[in-house]
Structure 1
Amino acid sequence: MNFQLDIIQDKVEFFEAESLEKLEQKIQSQIEVNKAILLEVHSVSHQMYVSEDGRRFYSAVVHFKAKN
């Protein structure tokens, strides 16, 4: 039996929520999960969209990279 373990170098995740607080909670939760596999946040990009009825919608892309 042959095992090969590869270290994840980069990981990009997408998040969405109807409030900024919920978006922040989702991202923070995933940061904790990714710490366990030795990834840290490299960059964050976010956007907000306002629908015709005035509701706000938030999204974010978080790029995780392996710790040095």
Structure 2
Amino acid sequence: MEISLEMIKDKVECLQAYDFQELERAIDDRIGVNKALLLRVKLVQHQVTFDPVRNKMLYSAVVHFAVA
């Protein structure tokens, strides 16, 4: 087994939720996790689309984290 101690410089995470507040909580949770890796939010992009299967709006976000 090999252990690599390379520093993460950039990281992109995609999140989805059927409730905007739930998506916001998920983003906040991921921000907390990535702070431990010394990464900060560089960019957040979001989108809303209609899910005809569940007959609900689907909220999604792409969060780009980068070294501070």
**TM-score, normalized by length of structure 1?**
0.87
**Which residue is equivalent to 1:63?**
64
| Counterpart Cα distance in 2 of 1:25 and 1:3 | 32
Residues 3 and 18 of structure 1: is their aligned pair in 2 closer, same or farther, counting only changes over 3 Å? closer
Structure 1 unmatched runs, 5+: none
| Counterpart Cα distance in 2 of 1:10 and 1:51 | 31
Residues 55 and 9 of structure 1: is their aligned pair in 2 closer, same or farther, counting only changes over 3 Å? same
- State the superposition RMSD in angstroms: 1.9
Structure 2 unmatched runs, 5+: none
Larger Rg: 1
Same amino acid, percent of matched pairs:
42
2:12 maps to amino acid: V
| Counterpart Cα distance in 2 of 1:3 and 1:56 | 43
Aligned residues: 66
CA-CA distance at 1:8 after TM superposition: 0.3
**TM-score, normalized by length of structure 2?**
0.87
**Which residue is equivalent to 2:25?**
25
CA-CA distance at 1:51 after TM superposition: 3.3
